Structures are given as structure tokens and as C-alpha cells.
Chain A
């Protein structure tokens, strides 16, 4: 399948390095916009509507269908607010942190196969090390959180930053180890090949052909991955770095205006990236009947978003020491167990 920048370059039809670069930028812009639209929908609107549905409320309903028009006033207002730079913040770290957070999450989407819409295949790049790249950029976010927390010159932010590091250390490793078990199945780190490996039919259930999604092949790994992913994106029960009732707003406490928008948006992009990884690795990427691939991909990442919101409404936050215990003593052990189990199974089947 041709990648998106290639396709754009083909459409332009001039064979030149500059055109390639231009096409890459256009492609990146397209994908970036697509994802930002999702986050913009999620941040000011979907999150409120979903939470409201859980708590028997209506929430915004004044502009547009279901009040979706609130996005415009919300976004413009947030951006147009006064940007307060508190005394004693550590610049430029304080300024860079929100940008890193937002962009690191966006970068991850570069290698995610988002399926096709008509003739266009939405994937920017397909490197050999795709999966590793996604995990790598996704975890840059924790550096941004630490920077934000440390540079803010606020004790609550500082605590939030420290919690973010502890949490990420505890969860990154199980997450990747579980990810590796999938690589054993597919035999490649290339995201497109991971997706392709899930397209075969596993078995037939009457008229339904059950695909060999890794979530179905190995539900145990899927569950571990979901838990670790929830910690990775920092949502309940693992929203410890933010923990509104304990440390105000954690690393975000001192940010206002544009920077706050970047942090807020970055978090939602991060949730969607988490959803995209789950979809790619366990749910067959953009695969699905009837509808175009891109639509299925969006449905899957929104389903993951819904899951985060559901947990947020219903599950208590664990304590930081409990979280680290779950991470190091529970998940890590289970992740390695899962890895050996998978390796054994794959070996047996291969033989």
C-alpha cells in the first residue's frame, strides 16, 4: 500500500526531493489535523457529555446538535485568555513542556496505519521499527510532565511531576514487554505488518468470520496492555499525576491560556494515541466490515476514549505506592509470564 505522502507526491506528479518533502508536510498536516479534530471534539465537548451521561445530567446543549458548538467558544476563549507567567518559573523549560507534551503524542501517529478512505491510505511512514518508535515518542510525554512540574516553581506541580516519573517507570516496562509478545505473533515491528498479521480468519462462527485479532488470540495480554495503557495515559484509576483533590491539578497547576490548552489537548491526543496503539496492536488496526478503514479506526480509538471516561466516572484513584506496587510486583511479573507463554505457544505452533 502506498503511504500518504507518496500518494500526494504522485498526485502532484513532479519527481523531486522538494516535492517529496512538501508532500510529507501536507500529509503530516492532514493527519495532524484529523487527530486534533478528534481531541478538540473530545476535550471541551465529548468528555463533558460522556461524564454528564454517567451522572444523570445533560451538559452543554445550547449550540449545534447536542451542544457540539461549544467547542468554538471554549477554544477561542481559552486561547485568548491572559497568559500568566508566574514569578520564579524556570524558563524556557516551563514554555517548552506543553509543546513537547502535545507534539510527542502527535508524533506517535506518524507510524500508525489508520486505514484507507477510498483510494487514500492514511499512514505517514512505515519504518522497520514502527512499534518501538510509537512507544518511544509516547513516553517522551512523561519528560514533559516532569519539566512542567519542576519548572513551575510550585510544590503541587513538583509533586505531580515526581508522581508522573514514578508512574511512568512503573508502567512503561510492562507495557513494552506485553507489546513484545505481540511481535512474537506477527514476527515484525513494522506496524503495517502487525495489522496485516491480524487479518486472517481465526475461525468461522456461523456466518461470522472471527478475525485473528491479537485481542482474541491472547485476551490475557490484551487485558494487561489495557491496564498498563491506562496508566500510560494517566487516567483513573491511575490519574495520580493530576489528582485534583490531592495536588490541585498537578503539573498543570500554574499553566493558563495557550499553554494550558496545549497541555489539555496534549493529554487528549495522548489518550487517542493510546487508543491507536491498542487498536493497532490488538484490535486489527483499521480492519472491520462494510465501513471504510479510517472510520473503523476512528471508532476504535473513540471506544478507547469512552473506556477511559467510564473508568474515570466509576473507579477510585489508587495511591502512588499502590500504583508502583501494582506496576513492579504485579504487572511486570505477569507481563513476563505472558511473554514466555506466548513464546512457548508460538514455538509449538511453528513447530
Chain B
């Protein structure tokens, strides 16, 4: 590509690819009031009315193009929003922007004008913690009903107060936008929360012009199970681990557990034995296969209608991988297999039989993929339905913080397993699948091919595990029974979940329970892109786009 301009190096990066925080602070020139040390990155404290300027500078000059998460929390004396910034080309270069606001007037400037993804993150912060964002395009509750009283994650929230939730027809948002209401020829339709296409309890407020989607507004929160509150009420050592299984409940439990394990291990400085890391890697990839199988199956369901062959085949194959995971963890769906510092127990005996089963499964997956490719990707009717529909351009995907197969289907080469290696991934060989199609087809294709890569990883893990010396099989590091990390340590760590970057922010306060536990859910960010993908498309394409996003409501709503 000779025509391409030579890439200008980002400000604040040393030649060997490390971040130079001093240079960054210099770039921000006086905006930085204070600097904090977080476990994963440095935090720059800035004034609440300079958020968008600072973010704009960092995005333009320093190349921070990925707003991974907005954490909001309440201290005794102040509210705080933290913008966790990353780079798509190198997610190890991180920076946190800490924006404190006073308790009396918790108003902070919105980042939605710089990063589209901030829209929903800030709405969530407003909903749960009660920080208000100035210049936010649409600041209203997102997870809780509109008539909810109080902000449940704030300090003075009374959980016992009664609440009233109305069941009302939602008004057509186009009604007041058209000038002559009588001549309006659009139709407002509620798709969901109970609808076969929404994969759970998602509610799409849709405005149709004939069959075409004029406007779609996803309404989430029908499965808001207070996961963050639950984790804040539980102890680090054992009580939190079962909850991650229930975020992305499509068998991706191992991946979710890993996200918590990674963050907590960084927080408490726990080293995990290699043997346990390999088992983790293997089980996590099995989870990924199970999750992708269901994603492909339900996507086919959306396109084919009714419970047709492909969906059933996918479920049948899932049974196989679930059997393996059950052998390993004792559970079909909610594994609770990881522990801080390792895993719960060693591989099942007899080991040879287990290895044989895993191996035959790894050989079976590529065979089955041929079948799926025959049924789906090489089916011309299927192609005519999904190619060039639900288009999500690369830039938009980045702006919305899309990750995982959704981003990779839009040509964003971003995979934390390779870019920010954890576990045993940096020792293993695998390819990151990307596709430049940016459409529904690409996303389905990326998922199918990722299964092949996962099978490859599992095979390598089995090879390693088979030859592992018997006296070095440490499944857990020595972790104290009660874990009390240093007070005011903050960490944000992410792993590559089945749907994308699954991150956890933990702030400790010296007790055995986290003071703030925030989940960066990939589905939540990916779902925001639905509006871009669906507007102007036909209803069936919107359904297909939703299917290709592969959201899990448990993870969206948490």
C-alpha cells in the first residue's frame, strides 16, 4: 500500500511501544489535576467540565480510540466517573481518566460527543449511581424502569422502599417529529420483550415505514439482576466466582470466570501455576465453542424460522462439548470451576479417556464446520439474505466500542488473547479471524472460523497436559482463605470473552468484599450498534442483524 500515508506515531508512546505517561500529561497541558496509580494503568484526574476536550485530544493525538468502559462510583465525599481508555491496535496501552464531582452537584460533562459508546455507559451511570452528565444526548434511565425511585448503587439508597412500575404503551417517537401528524405514515411497533427474535427479553422500540426500519431504540433492563450489587456483597475468595457464570450464560461460563479471576489475581498479586493456566485455557476455549455454536444456531433460527435443522445440529454439537465440560467441572452450564489462583480440581480420572474424548471432539469440530459451511455460508439463499445487510463500518464499530466477533467481522483486528496475552495464550499458536465484509455474513463467518481456531488451541493444550510431569501438576496457587487486598487499589482487567472484551473493574477498600465491582459487558456495547445496522433496512434484516450481534441479555443487563 504505497498510497497510504506513513503512520504518525501516537504522542506519548516510546519507540518500544510503552506508554510514557509524563508525555501524555504534558500533552494534556494543565488539564491534569492529579495522577493516580491504578494496577493496570495510570489515572489522570481531570475537571468535570473538561471531559470532552481531554478525550478529544487523547483520541486525536494520542491514539486512544477505544473507550472500553465508563465506571461510576460514589465515595464518602464525592462521585467519580472513570473512563478506561485503550487502543485498538495495542490494548496494553491503557489510560484511565478519573473525573470526580462533588456530592452536592454531581454533574459531569458527557463524553458522548467524542465516543458514541459513552452514551449508554453514562446512562447506566446515571441510572445506577446518580451522576448526571451535561450535554448528554438522551440522559434517562436505561436498566431500571423510568419511574424508579433512587439510584440503587449510591450510598443512601433504601432497598426496602416500595416501587411502582407501569405497564404502558410506549409512544411513537416519530409522532412529535413529523410536522403534520395526520399525514404520518410510519408505524410504531414494540418488538419484545417477549418476542421470538429477541433472544431473551430485549425490547426494541421500532418505527417502521412499511417494512423498512426508520428508527430503532433498544430498551434493555428486563433482566437486570443486580449482578454488580451481588458481587459487591460477596467475598473475593469464593462467593463472587459463581456469579460470572450467569452473565453470559450461553455456556461461556469459563470465559466469564476468567475475567473475574484475572482482575482479582492482579488486584491481590496472585500467580497462577502454568498447569492451571493450561487447564483454564482449554476449558475456556471449550466454552467459546459452545457459545459460538449457539450463536450460529440462533442466527440460523432467525433467518430460517422455526426450529430447523441447523439449530438442532448446533444444539446436538453443544451437547458434546457440554459433556466434556461436565466431565471437567461437574456442571453442564454454570461451571464454577475457576478459583483465584487456579482451578477447582484436576482433570477427571482416568485422564487418558478424557484426553481421548477431547481429542476426538477437536477432530470432530472441523468436520462439522464443513457441514455448517455447506448449510449456511455456501447456501445461496442464505447469502442473499445476509450479505450486505446489517452493515457496520469499521470506524463506527470502533466508535461504539464493539469488540469480539462483531468487531472482527467489521475488519477490526482486535483480540485480547493475542494483543494482551493472559493465561497460556502467548505460548500457543492460533490465528485471529477477521473479515472485511462488515455485514451479517462476516460476523457469522468469523464465528464459524473461530471455532476451528479454538479446536486448534484445545488440541495444543491437550498435548501439553498429556506430557506434563506428574509431580508438577499444581492446580492452585497458595491463596489465603480470606483475601483482603490493599485498600484503595483499583484495577481494570479484561479477557476475550465469547462476545468480546469482557472486563472487570474492582476497587478494594481493605475488606474482604469489593467496594466497587463493575462489569464491562461486550454485549452491552455491541448492542448499541444495532441502531446503525438496522436503520433503513427491512424488518427481517434487523432481526438478522440482532442475531448476528449475538447478544446475551444476562450480560447486557447484568
Contact = CB atoms under 8 A, between A and B. Distances in A.
Interface of A: 51, 54-57, 155-156, 159, 163, 236-237, 239, 242-248, 312-322
Contacts of B189: 155-156, 159
Given A312-B306, A319-B538, A246 B197 contact: yes
Contacts of A55: 307-309, 312-313
A243 B300 CA distance: 13
B302 A237 contact: no
Given A54-B309, A244-B306, A316-B379, A321 B384 contact: no
Contacts of A51: 307
Nearest to A247: B539
Most buried by A among B301, B313, B316, B385: B385
B211 A321 contact: yes
Of listed B208, B300, B304, B379, residue having the most chain A CB within 10 A:
B304
- List of 3 A-B pairs having minimum Cβ-Cβ separation, nearest first: A55-B312, A245-B197, A316-B303
A245 B301 contact: yes
Given A245-B302, A317-B304, A321-B211, 6 more contacts: A159-B208, A248-B196, A313-B309, A315-B381, A316-B304, A320-B538
Contacts, number: 81
Contacts of B302: 245
A315 B383 CA distance: 12
Contacts of B382: 316
B402 to A, nearest CB: 24
Given A245-B197, A247-B539, A159 B308 contact: no
A30 B316 CA distance: 45
Interface of B: 187, 189, 195-197, 208, 211, 300-309, 312-313, 316, 375, 379, 381-382, 384-385, 538-541, 543
B331 to A, nearest CB: 25
B303 A314 contact: no
A54 B307 CA distance: 11
30 contacts: A51-B307, A54-B309, A55-B307, A56-B312, A155-B189, A159-B208, A237-B381, A242-B305, A243-B305, A243-B540, A245-B197, A245-B301, A245-B302, A245-B543, A246-B197, A246-B540, A313-B309, A314-B375, A315-B304, A315-B379, A315-B381, A316-B303, A316-B382, A317-B385, A317-B540, A318-B385, A319-B541, A320-B540, A321-B211, A322-B384
Contacts of A54: 308-309
- SS of B interface (majority): helix
A314 B310 CA distance: 8
A313 B309 CA distance: 5
A57 B302 CA distance: 21
Given A54-B309, A56-B312, A155-B187, A317 B197 contact: no
Nearest to B541: A319
B301 A321 contact: no
Contacts of B313: 55-56
Contact of B316 (A56, A313, A316): A56
A31 to B, nearest CB: 31
A114 to B, nearest CB: 31
Contact of A246 (B300, B312, B379, B539): B539
Contacts of A239: 305
Contacts of B305: 236, 239, 242-246, 317
A244 B303 CA distance: 10
